[in-house]
Amino acid sequence: LPYVPQVPPMALLGKVTATTFALERPRCVFDGHADASDAVWLAVAFANASATFRNPQCRAEVPPYQQLLAARSYMTLETAAAAYSCSAASPAVLRVGGDTACRDQHRQDPCNGPLPSPGPYRVKFLLMGCRGPKAETRWSEPILLRTALSPSTIEAAPARPGSALVVIASILASLGAALAAAVLGALG
């Protein structure tokens, strides 16, 4: 299919981070090619590995997230093809690498885990039917993740509103407890 996946051009909070990026949702791309039982997958590959990526012929051949560093590609975001139709009411963007629980799981299920390096990565959408691939988009241009320029630019613990109030409340609670102990000691 002539569609090329891309990072949305609009200003978007967290559009590209150190471990994730956002993609435009490919609406109306698979209409006319998809059946109700089909699924759309997102193939993610290191840019230099996209030429050697082979479409899986069945779900059992889908490269899982855990093989990214060795196989240099994986597949994620399995979604019913109907979610990409022109009539589907769905978010305008997809988050790639947004599931932090993938790192801790030792399962072989497809997972949308954080990307391990700045990349660059290339992605494509693949329409899979019960007998294998039916259609695919073109590969995206290389997507490079953001990295901090220096450790001082990383905010280790963002300040939360009201944190000073919590400190003051805990000090006052400690003083109240000490006062109560002194009163009980004097009475006893």
Which residues partner with 16 through β-bridges?
21
Q: Which two tokens stand for residue 161?
A: 């509103």
Task: Give the CA-trace dihedral at 81, 82, 88, 91, to 10 degrees.
Answer: -40
Predicted confidence (pLDDT) per residue in 85-123, tens digit: 888 777 788 899 888 887 665 656 778 888 888 889 999
Q: What is the pTM of this model?
A: 0.71
Cα–Cα distance between 186 and 188 in angstroms, integer? 6
Cα–Cα distance between 21 and 11 in angstroms, integer? 13
Which residues partner with 125 through β-bridges?
42
Q: Phi and psi for 34 in degrees, rounded to 5?
A: -100, 145
Highest mean pLDDT among 8-12, 108-112, 165-169: 8-12
pLDDT surpassing 80 at residue 188: no
Q: Provide the 3-class DSSP secondary structure of residue 60.
A: helix
pLDDT surpassing 60 at residue 155: no
Cα–Cα distance between 48 and 119 in angstroms, integer? 10
**pLDDT, position 140:** 93
